[in-house]
Amino acid sequence: MTAPTIENATPAGGSARKERGPGGLIDPKMMLKSLPDAFRKLDPRTMWRNPVMLIVEIGAVWATILALADPSFFGWAIVVWLWLTVLFANLAEAVAEGRGKAQADTLRKAKTDTVARRLVDWAPGARVVEERVAAPDLQRGDHVVVEAGQVIPGDGDVVEGIASVDESAITGESAPVIRESGGDRSAVTGGTTVLSDRIVVKITQEPGASFIDKMIALVEGASRQKTPNEIALNILLAALTIIFVFSVATLQPLAIFSKANNPGVPDSSALDAHGITGIVMVSLLVCLIPTTIGALLSAIGIAGMDRLVQRNVLAMSGRAVEAAGDVNTLLLDKTGTITLGNRQASEFLPLQGISEEELASAAQLSSLADETPEGRSIVVYAKQAYGLRERTPGELTHAHWVEFTAQTRMSGVDLGTHWLRKGAASAVTEWVRGQGGEVPVELGTIVDGISAAGGTPLVVGELVDGQARVLGVVHLKDVVKQGMRERFDEMRRMGIRTVMITGDNPLTAKAIADEAGVDDFLAEATPEDKLALIKREQDGGRLVAMTGDGTNDAPALAQADVGVAMNTGTSAAKEAGNMVDLDSDPTKLIEIVEIGKQLLITRGALTTFSIANDIAKYFAIIPALFVVLFPGLDVLNIMRLTSPQSAILSAVIFNAIIIVVLIPLALKGVSYRPAAASKLLSRNLAVYGVGGIIAPFIGIKLIDLVVQFLPGMS
């Protein structure tokens, strides 16, 4: 993998969180804007995808017919709240989708009617003919030329040239990025703008299947498929609904039989001469089936995808988001993920008889002409650690600068008769010997010690009035990002095993792994090694997540359960992965896992709350409904509701209102803290299980205190 580009760099220890939306809070304007969609979703052809709410809608229709046939205030009050229950359920989904549509509108602005300059029979270096065509007419394999100020007409790879590209329409980042032919930074996205130079792009998309088209479909929810866990939960909810349908149906003959054996029992609008009225049966069914989770289940899934989009991560399927929550093994590239990506100066080690300040000054001077990241880090470290003032090549007008090259492996400066050199140990020692100087044995000990610790030694030498000598060694090391050890500790508490992948030798890899706190490492890794590691983990029954950006990462990304491709990477990598990180920040994989776990926990918590609600409502309604038939049930009537009618209406109202109350939680997600699965389960049962039982008792009683004054409630 390559290190992240400078424009995508983020603070150490974490990735930038660029929230595009208001989190889980509901904007009143969004609520009003979503109302028409909520009404449109009342269409049974739409409702059939949610079996629980379809039953509620059928019940509402049946209750409406009964209320028309035998009008009463109680009957119409029930009808109104039954329809509101269905509407609130649709509103939860409409609000979740509405936030995605708002993001899609922003993305559509990047999809303009661009005219492409297609090259006919293009070949590298050959003279070609241009023709102008509409961007939607481009075919896969076409070559187009794009110059400064022009919009890239389609997704593809740069095959010639290098250019600065503005990708703010896609990523939200205002800083331009460099795209060039060859390597792992060749992919470009349609709708972005070239700011400088000229590039030739080979189109890799099919017509109508551009990256922006996929993004729009995903954030709007049009292509959201239900995940396996979501399907399983839907089957469970449907089964519970069927069970309660039969359970409620048996109450009618039970009531008729009981009234026949108790002729002195007075009739009411709840229990008449023929047993339980139809409206009461519908109300009882709606209150007992898991309507709360049935209403919020779709919104939870959409919101999970939305939270990823807010962090500039595009999940190509809900299955990938769900799999992220179940990940057992995390494969992380060392460079740019665990470390900052460039080795930096961390220590000056002078030889005997040389002061640290003298070595620091010589190292700084000899690095002024070294434009590599390592050279710049030496200049900065000398200034920060030893208080040396910042110097520039322009200040030393009579100096002869020796720039670093791959051939000499040295940089330096000639100040009259005072020459300074800094570079690889072998190169500098050879230079010192070539100038007639001697290399002390002490130098070899220091160099070997740094190498054994996983660092890189750079030797500093000087020539003064014809006398050459070695001054000391600069210790360069991979700097682990701040806070990474804490992040890996969090992963460990989640039960996730972290594996660092690096091309370094095992000695260097172990030093970095120990400092960062990862569980294991794979040194001198090749693409085949990565793929084999993933297969071994999966054969052991574990789910694997990894990041990648190059074509050589594509096989491993495709094999991983969660493959996160960097947006700066190649088209092959993005097609192989099931997620794309638009910020190209490899550390974001940790956040993706946390979002996946939050999605699963939110779904589980609200399911627990919903089922606990049903239990509480059962104890609230049944005793109030049958206490006149079976006086012994009065012991269970702990809420002392005013009447059977007020008990039923209060339960129906509470059942509708609790959906609206829980919409923000479904959209924002239950707060997640890294912990073992057993602790998370205990917490959910304590908070949402016990809370789900207590809330209906309090809510229904408070509503009963209000509705008891309505007509026909006493």
Is 408 annotated in a binding site? The answer is: yes
Instruction: pLDDT band for 472, please (50, 70, 90 cuts).
Output: very high
CB half-sphere exposure, 154, CA atoms < 13 A: 28
Q: Quick check: 478 and 515 in contact, CB under 8 A?
A: no
Amino acid 306: pLDDT:
77
Most confident of 384-388, 554-558, 670-674: 554-558
Is 370 annotated in a binding site? The answer is: yes
Instruction: pLDDT band for 22, please (50, 70, 90 cuts).
Output: very low
Among 90-99, 352-361, 422-431, which is the least confidently predicted range?
Answer: 90-99
**Token representation of residue 528:** 């085949």
**What stretch of H or E contains 601?**
helix 588-626
Instruction: pLDDT band for 508, please (50, 70, 90 cuts).
Output: confident
688 pLDDT above the threshold of 70: yes
**Token representation of residue 344:** 């930096």
* Residues facing residue 333 across a β-bridge: 501
- Return d(Cα 297, Cα 49) in angstroms, integer: 11
411 pLDDT above the threshold of 90: no
Amino acid 16: pLDDT:
37
**What stretch of H or E contains 592?**
helix 588-626
Amino acid 511: pLDDT:
81
> Is 474 strand, coil or helix?
strand
Instruction: pLDDT band for 76, please (50, 70, 90 cuts).
Output: very high
Which strands make up the sheet holding 544-548, listed edge to edge? 313-315, 579-581, 562-566, 544-548, 329-333, 497-501, 520-522
Alpha carbon 562 to its chain's center:
11
Is 213 annotated in a binding site? The answer is: no
29 Cβ neighbours under 8 A, 6+ residues apart = none
- Return d(Cα 102, Cα 96) in angstroms, integer: 10
Is 395 annotated in a binding site? The answer is: no
Mean pLDDT across 201-207: 83
292 Cβ neighbours under 8 A, 6+ residues apart = 606, 609, 610, 613, 655, 658, 659, 662
- Return d(Cα 594, Cα 590) in angstroms, integer: 6
**Selected residue with higher pLDDT from 8 and 287:** 287
**Token representation of residue 361:** 């000054």
338 pLDDT above the threshold of 50: yes
Mean pLDDT across 38-54: 86
- Return d(Cα 22, Cα 99) in angstroms, integer: 9
Amino acid 627: pLDDT:
67
**AA identity, residue 497:** R
Q: Quick check: 201 and 152 in contact, CB under 8 A?
A: yes
What domains appear along the chain, each with residue ranges and CATH number?
A: 28-98+223-307+595-708 (no CATH), 313-338+481-582 (3.40.50.1000), 340-479 (3.40.1110.10)
Q: What is the mean pLDDT of the chain?
A: 79
Spatial CA neighbour of 113 closest among 151, 140, 163, 145: 151
- Return d(Cα 453, Cα 509) in angstroms, integer: 10
- Return d(Cα 531, Cα 539) in angstroms, integer: 12
Is 45 annotated in a binding site? The answer is: no
**Token representation of residue 220:** 């709007």
Residues with catalytic roles: 333
Amino acid 272: pLDDT:
53
528 pLDDT above the threshold of 80: yes
**Selected residue with higher pLDDT from 475 and 185:** 475
Instruction: pLDDT band for 86, please (50, 70, 90 cuts).
Output: very high
Spatial CA neighbour of 404 closest among 426, 380, 421, 425: 421
Mean pLDDT across 666-672: 82
Q: What is the DSSP letter of 533?
A: H
Where do runs of H (alpha helix) occur along 161-275?
Answer: 168-171, 211-220, 228-260
- Return d(Cα 143, Cα 140) in angstroms, integer: 9
124 — phi, psi (to 5°)?
Answer: -55, 125
- Return d(Cα 664, Cα 651) in angstroms, integer: 22
Pairing of strands 456-464, 418-424: antiparallel
Is 404 annotated in a binding site? The answer is: yes
- Return d(Cα 27, Cα 319) in angstroms, integer: 28
Q: What do you get for the CA distance between the two ends of the chain, in Å?
A: 74
13 pLDDT above the threshold of 80: no
Amino acid 60: pLDDT:
93
Q: What is the DSSP letter of 406?
A: T
- Return d(Cα 366, Cα 403) in angstroms, integer: 9
pTM of the model: 0.64
**Selected residue with higher pLDDT from 395 and 383:** 383
Say which residue the tokens 């030498």 belong to.
461
**Selected residue with higher pLDDT from 544 and 209:** 544
Is 46 annotated in a binding site? The answer is: no
Is 532 annotated in a binding site? The answer is: no
Instruction: pLDDT band for 266, please (50, 70, 90 cuts).
Output: low
Q: What is the DSSP letter of 433?
A: H
Is 173 annotated in a binding site? The answer is: no
CA distances from 644 to 250, 489, 712 (A): 19, 55, 11
Spatial CA neighbour of 344 closest among 368, 371, 380: 380
Q: Could you give the angle at the alpha carbon of 539 between the alpha carbons of 537 and 540, nearest 5°?
A: 65
650 pLDDT above the threshold of 80: yes
- Return d(Cα 473, Cα 671) in angstroms, integer: 49
245 pLDDT above the threshold of 80: yes
Among 60-69, 106-115, 322-331, 655-664, which is the least confidently predicted range?
Answer: 106-115
Amino acid 81: pLDDT:
94
What Rg value do the Cα atoms of the chain yield, rounded? 34
Q: Quick check: 623 and 633 in contact, CB under 8 A?
A: yes
Is 610 annotated in a binding site? The answer is: no
Amino acid 7: pLDDT:
32
Is 371 annotated in a binding site? The answer is: no
Where do runs of H (alpha helix) occur along 342-483?
Answer: 356-367, 373-386, 425-434, 441-452
**Token representation of residue 652:** 């129906």
Residue 148, sorted as left (phi over 0), alpha (psi -120 to 50) or beta, turns out to be beta
Amino acid 10: pLDDT:
34
- Return d(Cα 699, Cα 554) in angstroms, integer: 54
Say which residue the tokens 């493959």 belong to.
563
Is 405 annotated in a binding site? The answer is: yes
223 pLDDT above the threshold of 70: no
Query: Could you give the percent of the chain with pLDDT greater than 70?
Result: 80
CB half-sphere exposure, 98, CA atoms < 13 A: 22
**Token representation of residue 695:** 């809330």
| pLDDT tens by residue, 109-155 | 555 567 888 888 887 767 778 888 888 788 888 899 998 888 888 88
Is 114 annotated in a binding site? The answer is: no
**Selected residue with higher pLDDT from 321 and 444:** 444
